[in-house]
Amino acid sequence: MAVARQALRVPVLARRLTYRLGYRLLSLVALVRAPRGHGAKCVLASAGEVLLVRHTYGPSRWELPGGGVRRGEDPLSGLRRELREELGVDLASASTVATWPGPGRRHRHLTHIFRVELDSRRLTIDPGEIAEVRWCDPAMVPRPLGPLVADALRAAQALGR
Protein backbone atom coordinates (compact mmCIF):
# COMPACT_ATOMS: atom_id res chain seq x y z
CA MET A 1 0.00 0.00 0.00
CA ALA A 2 2.83 2.46 0.85
CA VAL A 3 4.48 1.80 -2.53
CA ALA A 4 1.20 2.54 -4.34
CA ARG A 5 0.82 5.84 -2.46
CA GLN A 6 4.37 6.90 -3.35
CA ALA A 7 3.78 6.10 -7.01
CA LEU A 8 0.68 8.33 -6.98
CA ARG A 9 2.45 11.31 -5.38
CA VAL A 10 2.70 14.24 -7.72
CA PRO A 11 6.27 15.56 -8.11
CA VAL A 12 7.04 18.69 -6.09
CA LEU A 13 7.58 20.93 -9.12
CA ALA A 14 4.21 19.94 -10.59
CA ARG A 15 2.49 20.61 -7.25
CA ARG A 16 4.17 24.02 -6.99
CA LEU A 17 2.99 24.89 -10.50
CA THR A 18 -0.55 23.80 -9.60
CA TYR A 19 -0.53 26.00 -6.47
CA ARG A 20 0.77 28.99 -8.47
CA LEU A 21 -1.84 28.59 -11.20
CA GLY A 22 -4.61 28.14 -8.64
CA TYR A 23 -3.50 31.23 -6.75
CA ARG A 24 -3.48 33.32 -9.94
CA LEU A 25 -6.89 32.03 -10.99
CA LEU A 26 -8.38 32.84 -7.58
CA SER A 27 -6.78 36.31 -7.72
CA LEU A 28 -8.47 36.96 -11.08
CA VAL A 29 -11.84 35.77 -9.78
CA ALA A 30 -11.41 38.06 -6.74
CA LEU A 31 -11.23 41.07 -9.08
CA VAL A 32 -14.79 40.34 -10.20
CA ARG A 33 -16.29 38.90 -7.03
CA ALA A 34 -15.05 39.73 -3.55
CA PRO A 35 -13.95 36.54 -1.77
CA ARG A 36 -16.03 35.24 1.08
CA GLY A 37 -15.46 32.40 3.46
CA HIS A 38 -13.06 31.73 6.29
CA GLY A 39 -9.37 31.24 6.80
CA ALA A 40 -7.41 30.07 9.83
CA LYS A 41 -3.87 31.23 10.66
CA CYS A 42 -1.72 30.39 13.64
CA VAL A 43 0.99 32.05 15.67
CA LEU A 44 3.12 28.97 16.40
CA ALA A 45 5.46 29.77 19.27
CA SER A 46 8.33 27.87 20.81
CA ALA A 47 11.04 29.05 23.23
CA GLY A 48 10.10 32.70 22.76
CA GLU A 49 10.19 32.59 18.95
CA VAL A 50 7.43 32.36 16.35
CA LEU A 51 7.31 30.44 13.08
CA LEU A 52 6.77 32.27 9.80
CA VAL A 53 6.46 30.65 6.37
CA ARG A 54 6.90 31.69 2.76
CA HIS A 55 4.64 29.88 0.32
CA THR A 56 5.66 28.62 -3.10
CA TYR A 57 2.83 30.65 -4.65
CA GLY A 58 1.60 34.23 -4.38
CA PRO A 59 3.67 37.22 -3.31
CA SER A 60 7.05 36.40 -1.75
CA ARG A 61 6.28 37.54 1.78
CA TRP A 62 6.35 36.04 5.24
CA GLU A 63 3.05 34.67 6.51
CA LEU A 64 1.62 32.83 9.46
CA PRO A 65 1.02 29.15 8.73
CA GLY A 66 -2.56 28.14 8.01
CA GLY A 67 -5.00 28.37 5.16
CA GLY A 68 -8.58 28.14 4.04
CA VAL A 69 -11.42 26.65 6.06
CA ARG A 70 -13.64 24.33 4.03
CA ARG A 71 -17.41 24.74 3.89
CA GLY A 72 -18.92 23.04 6.94
CA GLU A 73 -15.55 22.88 8.74
CA ASP A 74 -15.01 24.85 11.94
CA PRO A 75 -11.96 27.18 11.98
CA LEU A 76 -9.96 25.12 14.52
CA SER A 77 -10.50 21.92 12.50
CA GLY A 78 -9.41 23.78 9.37
CA LEU A 79 -6.29 25.00 11.15
CA ARG A 80 -5.47 21.50 12.37
CA ARG A 81 -5.82 20.13 8.82
CA GLU A 82 -3.70 22.91 7.28
CA LEU A 83 -0.88 22.59 9.85
CA ARG A 84 -0.82 18.82 9.42
CA GLU A 85 -0.64 19.20 5.60
CA GLU A 86 1.90 22.06 5.48
CA LEU A 87 4.14 21.38 8.48
CA GLY A 88 3.33 17.91 9.81
CA VAL A 89 2.20 19.45 13.12
CA ASP A 90 -0.65 17.82 15.07
CA LEU A 91 -2.39 20.23 17.43
CA ALA A 92 -4.02 19.18 20.67
CA SER A 93 -5.41 22.63 21.40
CA ALA A 94 -5.08 26.28 20.43
CA SER A 95 -6.02 29.61 21.98
CA THR A 96 -8.23 31.93 19.97
CA VAL A 97 -6.57 35.31 19.43
CA ALA A 98 -8.97 37.17 17.12
CA THR A 99 -11.22 37.01 14.07
CA TRP A 100 -10.68 39.76 11.52
CA PRO A 101 -12.20 40.64 8.16
CA GLY A 102 -9.82 40.65 5.23
CA PRO A 103 -8.43 43.92 3.89
CA GLY A 104 -9.98 45.88 0.99
CA ARG A 105 -12.21 43.82 -1.31
CA ARG A 106 -11.61 40.81 0.93
CA HIS A 107 -13.83 42.30 3.67
CA ARG A 108 -16.31 39.39 3.36
CA HIS A 109 -13.52 36.91 4.13
CA LEU A 110 -12.92 36.25 7.83
CA THR A 111 -9.54 35.12 9.12
CA HIS A 112 -9.46 33.34 12.48
CA ILE A 113 -6.16 33.77 14.32
CA PHE A 114 -5.01 31.21 16.89
CA ARG A 115 -1.96 30.85 19.12
CA VAL A 116 -0.21 27.57 19.92
CA GLU A 117 2.83 26.94 22.11
CA LEU A 118 4.83 23.99 20.74
CA ASP A 119 7.07 21.82 22.88
CA SER A 120 9.00 20.59 19.85
CA ARG A 121 10.18 22.43 16.75
CA ARG A 122 10.14 19.24 14.71
CA LEU A 123 8.43 19.94 11.39
CA THR A 124 7.75 17.92 8.27
CA ILE A 125 7.54 20.63 5.63
CA ASP A 126 5.48 20.13 2.47
CA PRO A 127 7.91 21.39 -0.23
CA GLY A 128 5.07 21.69 -2.74
CA GLU A 129 3.39 24.42 -0.70
CA ILE A 130 6.07 25.82 1.63
CA ALA A 131 9.20 27.43 0.16
CA GLU A 132 10.82 28.40 3.47
CA VAL A 133 10.20 28.44 7.23
CA ARG A 134 11.89 30.61 9.81
CA TRP A 135 11.79 30.72 13.60
CA CYS A 136 12.29 34.32 14.71
CA ASP A 137 11.98 36.75 17.59
CA PRO A 138 8.48 38.29 17.28
CA ALA A 139 10.04 41.75 17.74
CA MET A 140 12.49 41.19 14.83
CA VAL A 141 10.55 39.48 12.06
CA PRO A 142 11.78 39.33 8.46
CA ARG A 143 10.23 41.57 5.81
CA PRO A 144 8.06 41.83 3.85
CA LEU A 145 5.15 40.54 5.91
CA GLY A 146 1.75 39.46 4.62
CA PRO A 147 -1.41 41.28 5.66
CA LEU A 148 -2.52 40.75 9.26
CA VAL A 149 0.80 39.18 10.37
CA ALA A 150 2.09 42.12 12.43
CA ASP A 151 -1.35 42.67 14.04
CA ALA A 152 -1.69 38.94 14.77
CA LEU A 153 1.74 38.81 16.42
CA ARG A 154 0.87 41.79 18.64
CA ALA A 155 -2.52 40.33 19.58
CA ALA A 156 -1.00 36.91 20.33
CA GLN A 157 1.69 38.51 22.49
CA ALA A 158 -0.96 40.43 24.47
CA LEU A 159 -2.92 37.19 24.94
CA GLY A 160 0.19 35.39 26.21
CA ARG A 161 0.71 37.86 29.05
Domain residue extents for the chain = 2-160
**Inter-residue contact 63 to 149 (CB < 8 Å):** yes
Q: Domain 2-160 sits in which CATH superfamily?
A: Nucleoside Triphosphate Pyrophosphohydrolase (3.90.79.10)
| Residue 79: count of CB within 10 angstroms of its CB | 26
CA distances from 45 to 35, 126, 150, 156 (A): 29, 19, 15, 10
41: left (phi over 0), alpha (psi -120 to 50) or beta: beta
Q: Residue 76's pLDDT is what? A: 97
Output the tens digit of pLDDT for each of the chain's 161 residues: 344 444 446 788 888 888 878 877 877 776 666 566 899 999 999 999 999 999 999 889 999 999 999 999 999 999 999 999 999 999 989 999 999 987 655 667 899 999 999 999 999 999 999 999 999 999 999 999 998 999 999 999 988 65
- DSSP letters, 77-130, are HHHHHHHHHHH----S--EEEEEEEPSGGGTTEEEEEEEEE-S-------TTTE
> SS3 for 50?
strand
Q: Residue 106's pLDDT is what? A: 62
Q: Residue 31's pLDDT is what? A: 67
Q: Residue 3's pLDDT is what? A: 41
Q: Residue 37's pLDDT is what? A: 84
Q: Residue 108's pLDDT is what? A: 75
